Structure 1
Amino acid sequence: MSSIELTPSQKTILNALINLHRETEDAVKGEDIAEEVDRNPGTIRNQMQSLKALQLVEGVPGPKGGYKPTATAYEALEIQQMDEPAAVPLQHEGEPVEDANVEEIDLSSVHHPELCRAEIHLQGSVRDFHEGDAVTVGPTPLSKLVVDGIVDGKDDTSNILILRIEGMKAPAGDPDH
């Protein structure tokens, strides 16, 4: 799979589009995206042209029209389309965390096994997590992956936990299904 390099503002706009689209399931108006990311609609329209050229966005004509993310958009942002974000359980020191949903698991350095880190993007605060805490994430809906790790750092503003991976389990079998 080829990875598409997006500028930070394209990522922001695409994220906004995906989130708004997830809420309504309808085409999203440029004005709504502009409001969401605090830019003017003209800027959004220009960005949408480039995102359309990358086939990340499709334009929907007509009065109910607007933009929709394509399947490629999710891949470009490496978002596993989780219909139900709460479907990924999270445990903190062995206790299930009720009010945090895992949005995304980014195994950024899996190709460096000695630096095995995972970024866990949460919906919900990471305030209660501290360095050295044990965290278990998973199983994920698609690959049934379970990640055990120790909190190595966190980004409070983006609600990201950095885990040092202690172990990963995925059920044996075809990873694509």
Structure 2
Amino acid sequence: MSSIELTPSQKKILRALTNLHNDAENAIKGEDIAAQVDRNPGTIRNQMQSLKALQLVEGVPGPKGGYKPTAAAYEALEIQQMDEPASVPLEHEGEPVEDVIVEEIDLSSVHHPDLCRAEIHIQGAVGEINEDDRVVVGPTPLSKLVVEGTVDGKDDTNNILILRIEDMVAPAEEPEH
């Protein structure tokens, strides 16, 4: 498992960042995150350095600058949440696949834009799914991430589908009141 173990405060900061970013769409200032998680901006800056090292956050320079979550940030938060494998829908050639549980969506190669791949870890049989088939995974429970792609390969032993990502969306949600 290549999942990143986040400390509780990293999780809190990252979640604040993804929430603010969903609402704002542009880079988020450290001060805004600090206000949201009730820490001082210096603490946030230090944490951001470690989150940048983990490639979960990008720093945006300049007056409109601040921080942006990477695709991996959503994934890391999702993994933290998916200890209870929720039912993440999986569609194969437009048909919902029954009796499978999506355990993890691993976007570890997202940093290579020419190799935009997702590993979909599944409980259940993937025997019917073949290379070049279209697959849609999601929305995930937390960030509502939907990954669409074509099967590039599969590992039947470990029940992993490798998708060439064609589209990846995490829609901004209305905050619940």
Give CA deviations for 1:124-155 in whole Å, capped at 9, x if unaligned. 01111100000000000111000001000000
Matches within 5 A, 1:138-177: 138-172=138-172
Gaps of 5+ in 1: 6-74
Report the Cα distance in structure 1 between the residues aligned to 2:97 and 2:121, rounded to whole angstroms: 14
**Equivalence map 1:3-152=2 (5 Å):** 79-82=79-82, 84-152=84-152
Q: Distance in 1 between matches of 2:166 and 2:79?
A: 23
TM-score by length of 1: 0.52
Q: Distance in 2 between matches of 1:169 and 1:161?
A: 19
- Alpha-carbon distance, 1:171 to partner: 0.8
CA distance 1:116–1:81, shift in 2 (3 Å): same
- Structure with more relative contact order (C-alpha pairs < 8 Å, separation 6 or more): 2
Deviation per CA, 1:28-58: give whole Å up to 9, x if none: xxxxxxxxxxxxxxxxxxxxxxxxxxxxxxx
1:80 and 1:126 map into 2 onto residues whose CA distance is: 25
Partners of 1:172 and 1:81 in 2: how far apart? 18
Maintained 8 Å contact 2:86/2:141: no
Equivalents in 1 of 2:104, 2:137: separation in Å?
A: 10
Query: In structure 2, how many angstroms separate the alpha carbons of the residues matched to 1:95 and 1:147?
Result: 15
- Hey, what's the Cα distance between the residues in 2 that align with 1:112 and 1:133? 22
The separation in 2 between residues aligned to 1:158 and 1:121, in whole angstroms, is: 8
CA contact (8 A) 2:89 2:138 kept: yes
Give the Cα separation in 1 of the matches to 2:143 and 2:86: 15
Give unmatched runs, 5+ long, in structure 2: 6-74
Identity %: 79
The alignment covers a number of residue pairs equal to 102
Instruction: Please list the CA deviations of residues 44-88 of structure 1 after superposition, one character each: whole Å capped at 9, or x if unmatched.
Output: xxxxxxxxxxxxxxxxxxxxxxxxxxxxxxx99x83432652421
Secondary structure class of the residue paired with 1:136 = strand
Runs of 4+ in 1 over 6 A off after TM superposition: none
Query: Deviation at 1:99?
Result: 1.0
If the length of structure 2 is used for normalisation, what is the TM-score? 0.52
Go from structure 1 to structure 2 and tell me whether the alpha carbon gap of 1:116 and 1:4 turns closer, same or farther (over 3 Å shift). Answer: closer
CA distance in 1, matches of 2:168, 2:96: 18
CA contact (8 A) 1:80 1:104 kept: no
Secondary structure of 1:114 counterpart: helix
SS at match of 1:110: helix
Change (3 A) 1:4 1:105: closer
In structure 2, C-alpha distance between the alignment counterparts of 1:134 and 1:4, rounded to whole Å: 28
